[in-house]
Structure 1
Amino acid sequence: QVSRTFKRGSEVPFYVGNLDSVFEKHQKWQTLLPRVTPFYAVKCNNNLAVLRTLSALGTGFDCASKREIEMVMSIGVTPDKIIYAHATKPQTHIRYACAQGVDMMTFDNEEELLKITRGHPNAKLLLRIAVDDSKSQVKLSTKFGATLGTVGSLLKRAHELDLDVKGVSFHVGSLCTDSVAYRWAIEEAHHVFEQARLIGFHLDLLDIGGGFSGHGLEMVLNSKATVWVIALDEFFPADSGVRVIAEPGRYFVDSAFTLALNVFARKKVWSLPINGNGLDTMIMYYVTSGLHGAFGDIKLYPDKKHLFCAPTGTEPRYQSVIWGPTCDGADRIMDVWMPELNIGDWILVDNFGAYTIPLSTDFNGFEKPTIYLVVTPQIWKMLNFKGYFGIFDIGPHFIVIQSVVDVWRYFFLNSYSSYI
């Protein structure tokens, strides 16, 4: 079906999502962090097939709103598999969580405690604390988390309100480069456990947050896991009765999705050369998804500059600008040196499953990328056996393949000319 679409000259951008990759990441997580139960961050990629796959594997879900709770419960996820991990929630969303039996939720201030008292007095609460996130690309502790100096008063207030505080949560920020930050955060969480015990609470849940990298992670996670295991064993040993969870998002889906962009227009302009005299040729390319589409968060993650690095080869490279399709003059995705492309060529962007699909809009009337999903028969049978997929659930964009390496041969019939 997809190859026929290309023969008709389709220009619509699309993703290919590999559910085998999601399965493999889950297996690696269980091997490297057996004590830590993952609660997948729905906000990262809310594709229903991804959610169903993770649900079939027994993963919990980190939801941040009423709509996300609705989404995961619509596929059969039970309330005990959901944590409402947003420290500041609308009152109506708190009431909805209560009505659905979603009890686990976070807080970081007294006003939130009062809202919870009114909307869900039987909630099982986790106090989110602010921790050092200085080594992370995206920092969260300015916006969320109680400082250690306010923890005592918050716990006392929760006790006065007869609320049930069950644990502590933290988030060291997205793409943290310093594994020691987790140790410090775990140690600080242990101090909060001790304070809570003196006030009269019995805490038995630790949430170490998310932000884990999504590709090339096995080596990194292996080294970090060593630090985490040591810290957890020191402050929360296995016989302590404390359950440990995390909120990975990009870890599961980033490397599972590839984006295909069509070059629908281009023009050559002159630019000043880096060295020498005269003028150089600069080529501007216009592709079918931009900052209002799949690249909505590219300004937040500078590491995504690697997405458009030129492939190796002897072909000449030109100073190039890649623009999104809209009339917005700021819809400029990237400046890069790359080989010359032609109208009709396709650009493939690897490692693009995190914070892309949920952020896409149809601004200016440009279509959101279509999502195609591929899976090998082994994983398909496992999921189908559990009843998670059916012909009416998946629609026309689901393909069972014999081998993941056949994916792009299937899609393009060897007709694509550039892989960037």
Structure 2
Amino acid sequence: MSVAALHAPAILQLIDVPTPYLVTNLDVVADRYARFAAALPGTRIHYAMKCNSSAEILRTLATAGSAFEISSIAELRMLQAQGVDPADVLYSHPIKAPGMIAAAFGAGVRRFGFDSPNELAKISENAPGAAVHVRLRVDDSTSVFPAGNRFGTDLDEAYDLMLLARRMGLTPYGVTFHVGSQCQSTGAWRSAIRMAGELMDRLLDEGIELTMLDLGGGFPATYVAGEPSIEQLGQVIASEIALLPYPPAVVTAEPGRFLVAEASVLAAKVIGRELRGAEHWLYVEVGAYHGLMEPMQSPGGWDYPMSTSLPEGSPTLPFTIAGPSGHATDVVGYAIPLPAGLAVGDTLYFGSAGAYTLAYASNFNGFAPPTPVFVGGIG
């Protein structure tokens, strides 16, 4: 089943599962992995599993050849349940609980991210001799979800930290960065790789040659339009890597939403329609607290490709879409053009909903999150 077929209301209405549900085409996940690999040849892909840790997706990506990136010991346990070798896992989160470092190291994880002296101390104590990769703070202003100052360090401190890592008996292994989630500019990777190259060059004077360049995440999925393609990004990244002081032995990347977002569609029925002043409101079964959190997090709103169970070509009205809970902030879209005839019992389909939907979903206010449904692939 293609992406276009998955998003077709006529196909979606054949799914015999009560709403709300999130249907994921595993063939699309495998296709996105192959497309990413082709666009960045020689790059080892480590799926950022925080994006969607469904066992079916982990199994599909592992079968396709993917490695993984984790942020907790619980995520490592999920991977072990799928037979993934911890030695091929990146633990890139810059702040980790000491016990989680020790548990991951004991399980066989050997590569740990950091961005501060305090984190190095924890790694040195709980994972002696481990390989460490320092996270640079780079320009993430062109992303939908910037990380801001939450993680990363500047170039001068990164240099000092790698020397400190060596004194602590750790292996200065690599450099990483994150340009922000759903990055909209190829230039963000260009400037970040150049900064990484500066660090690599400076460390050579200290006899340190880094093994790994980790391109981080932020690779955008397609929602409506305007995002750079993975092929465009691949060309920019390749041209910048060619300018580094020396070729890294290992180049890795940590894509999340690019691999899974477009593979899924969320279906939810309309449970209420109201006219409040001049504003048309639709209330649906799934809201911000049941999986559609990203519209609340993005200042400019979020543009899911939308369709409905009504015939295509119907006259439209701009609707505000709200979730089912009693919380005042449970609004997931404004001025969304949808068929004017929508009524209670009709279904809305939110396309490109595979990223973070299940990860954020809860039973807030007693309303159930969407039921996961998988089609295609290996099941």
2:114 maps to which of 107, 113, 131: 107
SS at match of 2:295: coil
CA contact (8 A) 2:210 2:248 kept: no
C-alpha spacing 1:23/1:162, structure 2 compared with 1 (3 Å): same
Q: Equivalent residue for 1:325?
A: 324
Equivalent pair of 2:304/2:351 in contact (CA under 8 Å): no
What CA distance in whole angstroms lies between the structure 2 residues aligned with 1:173 and 1:189?
A: 16
2:313 equivalent to 1:304: no
Confirm whether residue 14 of structure 1 aligns to residue 31 of structure 2. no
Distance 1:325 1:367 in 2: 10
Match of 1:92 among 93, 99, 104: 99
2:291 is aligned with 1:290 = no
How much identity, in percent, do the aligned residues show?
A: 30
Task: From the superposition, tell whether residues 309 and 56 of structure 1 become closer, same or farther in structure 2 (CA, over 3 Å).
Answer: closer
The corresponding residue for 2:255 is 248
Instruction: Give the Cα–Cα distance (whole angstroms) in 1 for the partners of residues 237 and 230 of structure 2.
Output: 10
CA distance change for structure 1 residues 61 and 152 in 2, over 3 Å: closer, same or farther? same
Amino acid at match of 2:90: I
2:344 match = 343
TM-score (norm 2): 0.89
Q: Distance in 2 between matches of 1:264 and 1:293?
A: 15
- 1:262 maps to which residue? 269
CA distance in 2, matches of 1:153, 1:143: 20
> How many residues are paired up?
361
Please say if residues 95 and 119 of structure 2, whose CA atoms lie closer than 8 Å, have aligned partners that are also in contact.
Answer: yes
Instruction: State the distance in 2 between where 1:138 and 1:284 align.
Output: 27
Matched, 1:47 2:45: no
CA-CA distance at 1:259 after TM superposition: 0.3
RMSD: 2.3
Pairwise CA distance, 1:178: 2.1
Contact 1:106 1:125 in 2 (8 A): yes
Q: CA deviation at 1:82?
A: 0.6
Alignment partner of 1:362 is 2:363 = yes
User: What does residue range 127-142 of structure 1 map to in structure 2 within 5 Å?
Assistant: 127-142=134-149
1:154 CA displacement: 1.2
Where does structure 1 lack aligned partners over 5 or more consecutive residues?
272-281, 381-397, 399-420
The answer to whether the 8 Å contact 1:105/1:123 transfers is yes
Q: Pairwise mapping of residues 363-378 of structure 1 onto structure 2 (< 5 A)? A: 363-375=364-376
1:227 aligned residue: 236
Q: Secondary structure at the match of 1:354?
A: coil
Q: Determine the structure 2 residue equivalent to 1:276.
A: none
Whole-Å separation in 2 of the counterparts to 1:232 and 1:174: 21
Preserved contact between residue 43 and residue 63 of structure 1 (Cα < 8 Å): yes
On the 8 A contact 1:173/1:211 being kept in 2, the answer is yes
| 1:196 CA displacement | 2.5
1:196 paired to 2:196 = no
* Aligned-residue offset at 1:303: 5.6
Shift of 1:292: 0.5
- Aligned residue number for residue 165 of structure 1: 172
Q: Deviations over 1:128-180 (max 9, x none)?
A: 11112222222125111110121232122212211111111111112222212
Tell me if 1:80 matches 2:87: yes
Residues 194 and 244, structure 2, Cα contact 8 Å, conserved in 1: yes
**TM-score scaled to structure 1, two decimals?**
0.80
Alignment of 1:179-194 (within 5 A): 179-194=186-201
State whether residues 294 and 302 of structure 2, in contact with CA within 8 Å, keep that contact through their aligned partners in structure 1. Answer: no
1:37-80 residue CA offsets vs partner (Å, 9 max, x unmatched): 11000001111100000001110101011111111111100012
The amino acid across from 1:290 in the alignment is G
| Counterpart amino acid of residue 366 in structure 1 | F
Whether the aligned pair in 1 keeps the contact of 2:123 and 2:130 (CA below 8 Å) is yes
Q: Deviations over 1:356-406 (max 9, x none)?
A: 11000101111111011000xxx44xxxxxxxxxxxxxxxxx6xxxxxxxx
Instruction: Tell me, yes or no, if the aligned pair for 1:236 and 1:242 is still in contact at 8 Å.
Output: no
- Change in 2 beyond 3 A, CA 1:331/1:73: same
Name the residue aligned to 1:334: 333
* 1:98–1:217 Cα change, 3 Å: farther
Q: Determine if contact 1:286/1:322 at 8 Å carries over to the other structure.
A: yes
How far, CA to CA, are the matches of 1:108 and 1:251 in structure 2?
26
Q: In structure 2, how many angstroms separate the alpha carbons of the residues matched to 1:204 and 1:96? A: 24
Q: Max radius of gyration: which structure?
A: 1
| 1:277 equivalent in structure 2 | none
Q: How many angstroms does 1:312 deviate by?
A: 9.8
Residues 131 and 170 in structure 1, CA contact (< 8 A), matched pair in contact too:
yes
Structure 2's unaligned 5+ residue stretches are: 1-12
After superposition, the C-alpha distances for 1:182-241 in whole angstroms (9 at most, x for unaligned) are 12211211221223233333311110111111227997222222111111122166xx35
